[in-house]
Structure 1
């Protein structure tokens, strides 16, 4: 119960943590099943919470999916949770760029590639990266043309 009182956990996470603490595997499965029956543990709730939290940290869907897979979440459950939340990944990627870089990449290819790598490391797809880069660069161009 202490584990669940701090944050949501997936069934696989709970099973791993409890077995690492020396509890019998059969007993751990029974306890986790009982917790799920009572609504104290839910992979659906964990997945929704995880996606919401990581997207607020401006991480992309590819990275979030990989981390959920490591935590034992099924693909169908991930797809349903992503569809339910319907996040604007381009806006999240654009915000991540704006927070990290305060100037336009301009015509410098190295800087442009650096920004692409940054977004790729955050787990955004090339589609999201291109759209975010275009939005960021066009915003900078509008701002520059307003001054000059």
Structure 2
């Protein structure tokens, strides 16, 4: 790879990372699209960014997890989205555990998500099923949802 292309790829990567965190897979994809080059031209630049501390999958995963939890998403959904972004299962689990800070936070997240959407207990089984489906879609497990309804139904 010639030095001009390498410098352009590096500068574009720095520009992208200055706007927000990116996973290495996301960065690789964006740079490939922009410069139409293969892995061998990108890998040295990506390694340099990691070595310099400009790119970190761990830092990306934590920021992404924090954002998704603030939006009221559950563990399954957050982990699935992280893996789609190219984050390994281990890093995804660690970032979720670091940000969710245990079961109490998960209980608060599911309850806040439910209250924001529904505000009232379901009046019949059809409405309860609808609320279950919504919470499952948001990434909460059946156990978490069942515990929520036990708690709020008293």
Normalized against structure 2, the TM-score is what? Answer: 0.83
5+ long unaligned stretches in structure 2: 1-13
Q: Is the 8 A contact 2:79 2:93 kept in 1?
A: no
> In the aligned structure 1, how far is the partner of 2:95 from the partner of 2:120?
35
Question: How many equivalent residue pairs?
Answer: 137
Q: Is the 8 A contact 1:105 1:137 kept in 2?
A: no
Runs (4+) off by over 6 Å: none
* Alignment pair present for 1:92 and 2:106: no
5+ long unaligned stretches in structure 1: 139-148
Aligned to 1:19: 32
Equivalences for residues 34-113 of structure 1 within 5 A: 34-85=48-99, 86-87=101-102, 88-106=105-123, 108-113=124-129
- Supply the RMSD in Å over aligned alpha carbons: 1.3
> In the aligned structure 1, how far is the partner of 2:147 from the partner of 2:19?
37
Q: Is the 8 A contact 1:94 1:133 kept in 2?
A: no
CA drift of 1:89 comes to: 1.4
CA drift of 1:115 comes to: 0.5
1:43-93, Cα deviation, whole Å (9 max, x unpaired): 010011111110000001101111111111111111222222324212101
Aligned to 1:132: 148
Q: 1:2 aligns with which of 8, 15, 23?
A: 15
CA drift of 1:23 comes to: 4.0
CA drift of 1:133 comes to: 2.0
> In the aligned structure 1, how far is the partner of 2:50 from the partner of 2:32?
18
